[in-house]
Amino acid sequence: MTALSARKDFKLSDSEFRMFAELVRAHCGLHFAEDSRFLLENRLGRRLHELDLPSFAAYHFRLRNQGPGDNELSMLIDELTTNETYFFRESGQLRALIHEIFPELRLDRSASGASGSGARKGSPINIWCAGCSSGEEPYSIAIMAREIGMRPGVDLRVYASDISTRALRKARQGIYREASFRETDVRLRDKYFVEKDQLWQISSEIKKDVDFIHLNLMDRSKIALLGSMDVILCRNVIIYFDSETKGQVIKTFYEKLRPGGHLLLGHSESLINLSTEFELRHLRNDLVYRRPLAGFTPRDPWHLAAEAAIRSTDDKGER
Ligand SMILES: C[S@@+](CC[C@H](N)C(=O)[O-])C[C@H]1O[C@@H](n2cnc3c(N)ncnc32)[C@H](O)[C@@H]1O
């Protein structure tokens, strides 16, 4: 008998499904609706099998009673998160960041905070990639910044966080397969990576440009330890959350951004029904959200919603 055929198939009962879905939602905001039940069953089943546990109830008990040093919840989160990403994803938005937002921020810093952002003259621009997965997104930003002559560590600081320890391990290693380069200009790949056995290692220079942090977006006390941000990218992350968690996370981002700071969401995400506190900006390369400067009243939510709907129709046309 092979190891595979020896594996027992576990079935999640209705009450077990609800118990696990709630445990995961409360821990990290990931939302498993009834139609993703099979997915949850399958991924939990893998852990049961690995741990050689007799039932889902026994696994739930183990998760609820984790002792010090037991990292089973973290292992489960590695199984449940979707870590799909690649270099230069949604590149129009990255161009908006590098060629439109960065120049404004640099001007603001040369004028000693005259705009009301509160940034000190000459201080680095702070960027946070929240939900960075295996690092392709923050490394893309570091590469693009270097390409326009900015010096990470001096002109800007790139922080990148994720809840998945497995994804972060990969990010810190900086070794990628061909699939991560599906949208990458070959010139940039050859300049910043070294190939070995069909894997690509990022240059140690770019690796040093990004600070990776293990962080759950639900953990407000740990987030409070991060400084104020000029830009937060949280792309293709909140799409997996329930609406209450989305609202909480967006509120946290609002608080972490300096006045005038930008929030960049994924193309299929918007603030409709989540927040009316942000201003929607039409940049040449993309639409982005901004925490208004003091004294600015965001336009009414219906106007914002209509604009975001136009944006999503445009995006569908693009793909
Ligand atoms: C699809 S990836 C997006 C990666 C990248 N931002 C991009 O757009 O290519 C979503 C990431 O969000 C992370 N994530 C999900 N829930 C999280 C939470 N509560 N706190 C921090 N990261 C989370 C997942 O681990 C995953 O790596």
Q: Is the CB of 89 under 6 A from ligand 1?
A: yes
Q: To which H or E segment does residue 273 belong? A: none
CA atoms within 13 A on the CB side of 288: 27
Active site residue 43: yes
> Closest Cα to atom 5, ligand 1: which residue?
132
Q: How far is the CA of 260 from the centre of ligand 1 (A)?
A: 25
Residue 296 pLDDT: 67
Report the mean per-residue pLDDT for the chain. 91
Q: Are 127 and 229 in contact (CB under 8 A)?
A: yes
Task: Tell me the pLDDT tens digit for each residue of 171-230.
Answer: 999 999 999 999 999 999 999 999 999 999 999 999 999 999 999 999 999 999 999 999
Report whether residue 252 contacts ligand 1, using a CB cutoff of 6 Å. no
Ligand 1 pocket test, candidate residues 31, 140, 163, 234, most atoms within 8 A of CB: 163
Structure confidence at residue 112 (pLDDT): 60
pLDDT at 69: 87
> Between residues 32 and 116, which one has the greater pLDDT?
32
At 310 the pLDDT is: 53
CA gap 299, 191 in Å, rounded:
44
Whether ligand 1 lies within 6 angstroms of the CB of 137 is answered as yes
pTM of the model: 0.91
Whole-angstrom Cα distance, residue 318 to residue 93? Answer: 13
Question: Alpha-carbon distance 286 to 217, whole Å?
Answer: 25
For ligand 1, atom 11, name the residue with the nearest CA: 131
Q: Which of 78, 108, 155, 162 is catalytic?
A: 162
Q: What is the pLDDT of residue 4?
A: 46
Evaluate if residue 77 carries a pLDDT over 80.
Answer: yes
Which atom of ligand 1 is nearest the CA belonging to 216? 20
236: Cβ below 6 Å to ligand 1?
yes
What domains lie within the chain, and their CATH numbers?
Answer: 14-80 (1.10.155.10), 91-174+203-318 (3.40.50.150)
- Tell me the pLDDT band of 89, cut-offs 50, 70 and 90: very high
Tell me, yes or no, if 162 is annotated catalytic. Answer: yes
- Ligand 1 pocket, 80 CB below 6 A? no
The 10s digit of each residue's pLDDT in 227-258 is 999 999 999 999 999 999 999 999 999 999 99
Q: Are strands 229-234 and 125-130 parallel, antiparallel or unpaired?
A: parallel
Ligand 1 pocket residue status of 171, Cβ below 6 Å: no
State which ligand 1 atom lies nearest to the alpha carbon of 89. 9
